[in-house]
């Protein structure tokens, strides 16, 4: 009798294992898998989507209708420019970042993926800042350089300044000629300098190699 009871229980268990899941469970499970797949795909594609959506807003060219006289003043006497004059020659995004010390969202900058040979200039005064040879892919979402463009006397046009905003201690980098905000420099870059200049595209203007 006992063996018969065991057999009955085993038979019941084997049948229980093959019972189909209730439709509601199957639907919920399918939705969960689909949602996870969508989120995973979106996390991979989002930087590219954002770049395509916003890159046009961050094109580092001056306003099309900028006053030529003010543009000349920006190039030759940038320290004499007023905030209102900068506002007249820069796009809203350029002004927000370069003159307002803002930061563009990661993976949205116009030059983040630029691999052309040339030199990166200050968008405000056209000072030479970074050679394309020192640009590398840091994975940060911003144009990154391990060194600056050197002048004949081995100096550069980049000013370093301690920044303690947002509760963090960082080193801000600015254009030495006009004081425009460029970004920050960190000590986690590649050799030979070990530096990573993390720069906003909106603060730059690219001059292709001739």
Least confident of 2-6, 45-49, 134-138, 197-201: 45-49
Q: Is 122 inside a domain boundary? A: yes
Q: Is 23 inside a domain boundary? A: no
Q: Is 139 inside a domain boundary? A: yes
Look at residue 63 in the predicted model and tell me its pLDDT: 82
Q: Is the pLDDT of residue 37 over 90?
A: no
Q: Could you give the number of structural domains in the chain?
A: 1
Look at residue 65 in the predicted model and tell me its pLDDT: 84
pLDDT in tens, 83-94: 999 999 999 999
3-state secondary structure of 92: helix
Q: Which position has the higher pLDDT, 55 or 174?
A: 174
Q: Is 30 inside a domain boundary? A: no
Q: Is 200 inside a domain boundary? A: yes
Q: Is the pLDDT of residue 195 over 50?
A: yes
Which residues participate in catalysis according to the annotation? 198
The answer to whether 130 touches 150, Cβ cutoff 8 Å, is no
The answer to whether 142 touches 112, Cβ cutoff 8 Å, is yes
CATH code for position 62 = 2.170.150.20
Q: Is 5 inside a domain boundary? A: no
Look at residue 26 in the predicted model and tell me its pLDDT: 42
CA angle in degrees (0–180, nearest 5) for 204-205-206? 120
Q: Rounded mean pLDDT of 28-47?
A: 40
Q: Is 146 inside a domain boundary? A: yes
Q: Is 43 inside a domain boundary? A: no
Tell me the C-alpha distance between 114 and 143, whole Å. 8
Does residue 192 have a cis peptide bond before it, meaning omega lies within 30 degrees of 0? yes
Domain containing residue 141: 52-208
């Amino acid at each position: 009798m006992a063996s018969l009871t065991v057999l009955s229980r085993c038979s019941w268990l084997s049948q229980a294992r093959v019972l189909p899941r209730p439709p509601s469970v199957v639907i919920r499970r399918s939705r969960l898998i689909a949602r996870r797949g969508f989120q995973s795909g979106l996390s991979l594609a989002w930087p590219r989507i954002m770049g395509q959506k916003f890159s046009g807003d961050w094109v580092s060219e001056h306003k099309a209708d900028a006053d030529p006289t003010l543009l000349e003043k920006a190039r030759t006497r940038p320290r004499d420019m007023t905030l209102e004059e900068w506002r007249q020659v820069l796009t809203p995004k350029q002004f927000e970042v370069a003159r307002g010390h803002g930061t563009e969202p990661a993976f949205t900058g116009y030059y983040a993926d630029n691999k052309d040979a040339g030199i990166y200039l200050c968008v405000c005064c056209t000072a030479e800042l970074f050679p394309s040879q020192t640009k590398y892919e840091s994975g940060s979402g911003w144009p990154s350089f391990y060194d600056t463009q050197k002048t004949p006397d081995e100096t550069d046009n980049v000013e370093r300044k301690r920044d303690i905003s947002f509760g963090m201690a960082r080193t801000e980098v600015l254009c030495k000629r006009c004081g425009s905000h460029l970004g920050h420099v960190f000590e986690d870059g590649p050799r030979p300098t070990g530096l990573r200049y993390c720069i906003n595209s909106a603060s730059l203007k690219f001059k292709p190699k001739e």
